[in-house]
Amino acid sequence: MEATTRKPAANAATTMKPKYEKDLRFKLIQDFDLIKPKDAATGMIVDNPYPPTRIIASEGVAKDAKGEYRQWRYIFGYKSVWVDEQSKPAPTKNQINSEKNDIIFKNGHLLVKKADLALIQALMLNDAFDGNEDPVNEIPKVFELIDDNASARKLRSLSDISFAAESEARTCSLEVMLPIAQLYGISTTDDEDIIRTQFIFQAKQNPEKFLENVANPKFKVKFTITEALKRGLINVTDGKIVYMETGKPLFEVNGNGDVAEQIARMVLMNDDIAIKLIEQLELNLKG
Amino acid sequence: MAITIPNSTPANFSDPSINRYGLISGLNIVNVHAYDRFYDTFGFAPYTQLAMMQNNFRKVENKQFLWYQSHGRTMGFVTASAAVTVANGAPATITVGAGSYSQSGTKSLPALGYVFHNSRTNVDSRVSAVPNKTTANAHTFVLTPLLAGQNASVAIGDELLGRGFVYVGDQSDKTDTIIKTIDKYSNYCTQLRTDDEISDLADAERIEFMINGQHSYTLKQMRDTDLRRMFELDYLIFEGTRADNLPYVEEGSNGVIKQVQANGINMDYTSWSLATFATMNRALNAVGAPKEYDFLSDDSAMTEIQNSIFTEINNGGIIYSQPGKRGGIDLDRDYQSMTIYKRKYNLGHYGLFDEQTTYGSTGLGARNRFSLLMPVGTTSTSYGENSPTVSAPRLSVNYQTPFNQNRWHVKENGLHSDGGGTKAGRIITTIGYFGAEVIGAQQFLIAKGS
């Protein structure tokens, strides 16, 4: 396993100073998509969802290898981050105030040279580090080590999902497509080609959600009810669903609410009458 | 707890055995005046009100309001996404690093003939080719050093600073236009409402003490509500958040802190010291920050900041003698402001960040050892056709006035009001629509002790 991909054990930084094969990349955990400015021309987020400048504490208290509290402080050029080991010679005021000690995430990211072991140790001792599983203070985690292999796997997984969604959108039957198209607000009365084009576009927009929607039986039921209402196969009279062919009231619904949603829920809860109604309506619609 | 919701008929005063004059005992007749004073124990200096008194507010036409800011600096740079090693004088093909793109990775700075200065190696190079500017987030360009004896190699993360289209030669052709990105910011006005229902009997019930010279319960209730509303407005402006899980359509509103967390400088520290001032100052300088700040801190942060200054100043900065004083001096070791590294900080304690002060609760909370630094002064802007450039505050409390009402719209209903209704009493409704506009959040700073 590569050193850069290893998730450190609890306060691993206290006990070891591993030699890293690659420079390490850290990133902030919390993003601010909703608040970030958008490009005035395109409406897209300008650069990335992180704050432009995030300064992490360069000193603190951590548990050492013996589990005892010990002060640490990152001073550029000092091999050890433990304050009691920084006395020969003791750092000058200028060294303590030096900008080289600042630990700053720019646009959410921080690249640390693999040789800067003290900085790596300082980052991993920080209570705000996601990999520090034995912090002195339980504070919200602020940053994490980027696992390159995991990132690659995630990227490939996203790519796979995107491919699957687009394939589904291009090849699925009309019967599968129409309920989901209706969900996305696509006019289901247009030509199939037009519906399909917009359908593919929706699949590309958010592939994961798209696949979730396709797999969700609720939308098919909702589509059936909506179509049946449109074609007058059923009606809501006096707060009850009436199957028009027989004129028989079947069960109560809230006529002022989303009738399709209510019936879909009943079907998913295995309500016999609702299930039978849907089966009958599907036959009617096919006919 | 101190308050209850809903505030309907005032329960505290509805029990006749407590305060009806008709039922007082002989002893009460003697000492009733001991009870006729009322003390408001806890006050508050709302920053929002102070800001508004300084004209830092603006009426907006729409619930969602927008403002535009230039993106980044006038001069641009890109980073190298990976190390490239070449021989002296040879061209190096470099991929533009993350964070150097705009418009979803489709635009980046390198253009044919543009000169870049490598900040680390001090080498100037010219873009001799741009093989790929079509693949999003993977633009490549070729750098050739201006001097044959120099090297265009880059290390990962190297910052390449744009120097412009220079040394373009005789009869040079048109160069690419460099367009500075404009950032569009948005926020919403959201509602803050209070309703006070005061029944006829509650008003008829004389309370023992007087408020503004009257025994009326209404006056006390309105005073309490006014004060609470000031807190609530400050919380809305500072701590407001966008909402996406309300059972009705309402976006909420991002407060100053949310906007600074997203777009400003966020700094953690362990113990406040001169080094913290130095770090903060460097971060502010890096964003071209102004020279004066309001430094709003909770109690803990204020204490440690004052202490850190005290230990730095010779003799703690104590004024030892005051002419005309006999029998001792007034010792003062508080610092109202401090100018350090050419920047002035107006040190203030802001009660809103102290849960214990504001609520009387026991926890210290997320705003313990918390400071918000807000630039003092204005920036320039212009709006409307042919309008001149005007000054705009860095924090504007934006508001709306639906139906052309006042900033705080107050309406009374009930039988004992002019607003109509048959129920015996008054319902006093107050509603306002507010949102925070933070101009140049990049130059605001949050400091949080951990």
Alpha-carbon gap, residue A242 to B166, rounded angstroms: 80
Pairing verdict, β B408-413 and B395-400: unpaired
Tell me the pLDDT band of B268, cut-offs 50, 70 and 90. very high
C-alpha distances in angstroms, A212 versus A164, A219, A263? 12, 11, 20
Q: Per the domain annotation, does A266 fall within a domain?
A: yes
- The answer on A162 and A59 residing in a single domain is no
Tell me the chain B residues in contact with residue A23 when contact means C-beta distances shorter than 8 Å.
Answer: 156
- The answer on A49 and A181 residing in a single domain is no
Q: Per the domain annotation, does A84 fall within a domain?
A: yes
CA dihedral over A129, A134, A136, A140, signed as positive or negative: positive
- The answer on A113 and A163 residing in a single domain is no
Average pLDDT over residues B8-20: 41
Predicted confidence (pLDDT) per residue in B206-221, tens digit: 777 777 777 777 888 8
Residues in contact with A151: Cβ distance below 8 Å, sequence separation at least 6, in sequence order? none
Q: Is residue B207 classed as helix, strand or coil in its secondary structure?
A: coil
CA dihedral over B410, B352, B372, B336, signed as positive or negative: positive
Lowest-confidence segment of A41-55, A128-142, B385-399 by average pLDDT: B385-399
Closest CA to A45 of A108, A103, A104, A105: A108
Residues in contact with B127: Cβ distance below 8 Å, sequence separation at least 6, in sequence order? B110, B111, B112, B113, B114, B115, B116, B141, B142, B143
Decide: B335 and B306 in contact? Cβ < 8 Å: yes
Inspect the interface and report whether the beta carbons of B442 and A61 lie closer than 8 Å: no
Q: Which residue of B has its CA nearest to A139?
A: B450
Best of A33, A47, A138 to disrupt the B interface by mutation (most B CBs within 10 Å)? Answer: A47
One-letter amino acid identity for B16? P
Q: Quick one: fold of B77-178? A: Elongation Factor Tu (Ef-tu); domain 3 (2.40.30)
SS3 content of chain B, % helix, strand, coil (to 5): 25, 30, 45
Q: Taking 80 as the threshold, does the pLDDT of residue B255 lie above it?
A: yes
- Please tell me the distance in Å from B194's CA to the nearest CA on chain A: 28
- The answer on A169 and A98 residing in a single domain is no
pLDDT at site A47:
66
Q: Per the domain annotation, does A244 fall within a domain?
A: yes
Tell me the chain B residues in contact with residue A129 when contact means C-beta distances shorter than 8 Å.
Answer: none
Domain residue limits at A99? 3-146
pLDDT at site B31:
42
Q: Which residue of A has its CA nearest to B100?
A: A47
Predicted confidence (pLDDT) per residue in B125-152, tens digit: 999 999 999 988 899 999 999 999 999 9
Q: Per the domain annotation, does A135 fall within a domain?
A: yes
Is some CB atom of chain A closer than 8 A to the CB atom of B243?
no
Tell me the pLDDT band of B421, cut-offs 50, 70 and 90. confident
pLDDT at site B69:
87
Q: Taking 90 as the threshold, does the pLDDT of residue B90 lie above it?
A: yes
Best of B70, B270, B368 to disrupt the A interface by mutation (most A CBs within 10 Å)? Answer: B270
B185 vs A37, A96, A128: nearest CB: A37
Domain ranges of chain B: 1-74+180-320+331-450, 77-178
- The answer on A104 and A47 residing in a single domain is yes
Ramachandran bin of B25, using left for φ above 0, alpha for ψ from -120 to 50, beta for the remaining angles = beta
> Tokens at residue A212, please?
């979730």
Beta bridge partners of B266: A54, B446
Residues in contact with A216: Cβ distance below 8 Å, sequence separation at least 6, in sequence order? none
Inspect the interface and report whether the beta carbons of A32 and B263 lie closer than 8 Å: yes
Q: Taking 60 as the threshold, does the pLDDT of residue A123 lie above it?
A: yes
* Chain A residues contacting B via beta carbons under 8 Å: 23, 32, 34-48, 51-61, 93, 96-97, 99, 101-102, 104, 106-107, 109, 111, 127-128, 137, 139, 142
Last residue of a domain, one of A146, A180, A200: A146
DSSP A125-190: HSTTBTT-SS-SS-----EEE--HHHHHHHHHHHHHHHHHHHHHHHHS-HHHHHHHHHHTT--TTS
Residues in contact with A225: Cβ distance below 8 Å, sequence separation at least 6, in sequence order? A234, A259, A260, A263, A264, A278, A281
Inspect the interface and report whether the beta carbons of B157 and A111 lie closer than 8 Å: yes
Q: Taking 50 as the threshold, does the pLDDT of residue B30 lie above it?
A: no
Inspect the interface and report whether the beta carbons of A53 and B268 lie closer than 8 Å: no
Q: Taking 70 as the threshold, does the pLDDT of residue B35 lie above it?
A: no
- The answer on A183 and A282 residing in a single domain is yes
| Phi, psi angle pair for A284, to nearest 5° | -60, -45
Tell me the chain A residues in contact with residue B71 when contact means C-beta distances shorter than 8 Å.
Answer: 37, 46
ipTM value of the model? Answer: 0.74
Residue A251: how many other CB atoms lie within 10 Å: 14
Q: Per the domain annotation, does A211 fall within a domain?
A: yes
pLDDT at site B262:
94
Last residue of a domain, one of A146, A173, A200: A146
Predicted confidence (pLDDT) per residue in B372-413, tens digit: 999 987 776 666 666 666 667 788 899 999 998 888 999 999
Inspect the interface and report whether the beta carbons of A41 and B266 lie closer than 8 Å: no
> Tokens at residue A251, please?
């069960």
Residues in contact with B405: Cβ distance below 8 Å, sequence separation at least 6, in sequence order? none
Q: Is the peptide bond before A179 cis (omega within 30 degrees of 0)?
A: no
Inspect the interface and report whether the beta carbons of A104 and B98 lie closer than 8 Å: no
Task: Identify the residue with better confidence: B280 or B209.
Answer: B280
Alpha-carbon gap, residue B304 to B296, rounded angstroms: 13
> Tokens at residue A280, please?
């009958």
Best of B108, B109, B183 to disrupt the A interface by mutation (most A CBs within 10 Å)? Answer: B183
> Tokens at residue A177, please?
């497509």
Predicted confidence (pLDDT) per residue in B285-302, tens digit: 998 888 999 999 999 999
- The answer on A132 and A36 residing in a single domain is yes
Classify residue B104 by its DSSP letter.
T
Alpha-carbon gap, residue B150 to B391, rounded angstroms: 48
When divided into structural domains, chain A yields a total of: 2
Q: Per the domain annotation, does A151 fall within a domain?
A: no
pLDDT at site B186:
92
Predicted confidence (pLDDT) per residue in A69-111, tens digit: 999 999 999 999 999 999 888 999 889 888 899 999 988 989 8
- The answer on A137 and A37 residing in a single domain is yes
Q: Taking 70 as the threshold, does the pLDDT of residue B3 lie above it?
A: no
- The answer on A282 and A217 residing in a single domain is yes
Tell me the chain A residues in contact with residue B69 when contact means C-beta distances shorter than 8 Å.
Answer: 37
Closest CA to B375 of B351, B393, B348, B388: B393
pLDDT at site A57:
93
> Tokens at residue B51, please?
């800001």
Tell me the chain B residues in contact with residue A37 when contact means C-beta distances shorter than 8 Å.
Answer: 69, 71, 183-185, 263
Q: Which residue of A has its CA nearest to B312?
A: A93
Alpha-carbon gap, residue A38 to B102, rounded angstroms: 10
Q: Which residue of A has its CA nearest to B286?
A: A53
Average pLDDT over residues B349-359: 87
Beta bridge partners of B235: none
Is some CB atom of chain A closer than 8 A to the CB atom of B86?
no
Q: Taking 50 as the threshold, does the pLDDT of residue B332 lie above it?
A: yes
Closest CA to A101 of A82, A68, A76: A76
Residues in contact with B20: Cβ distance below 8 Å, sequence separation at least 6, in sequence order? B205
Sequence-distant contacts of A265-273: CB under 8 A, at least 24 apart: A265/A218, A267/A217, A267/A218, A267/A221, A268/A217, A268/A218, A268/A221
Alpha-carbon gap, residue B363 to B361, rounded angstroms: 6
Last residue of a domain, one of A114, A146, A178: A146
Closest CA to B334 of B319, B314, B355, B350: B319
Residue A68: how many other CB atoms lie within 10 Å: 9
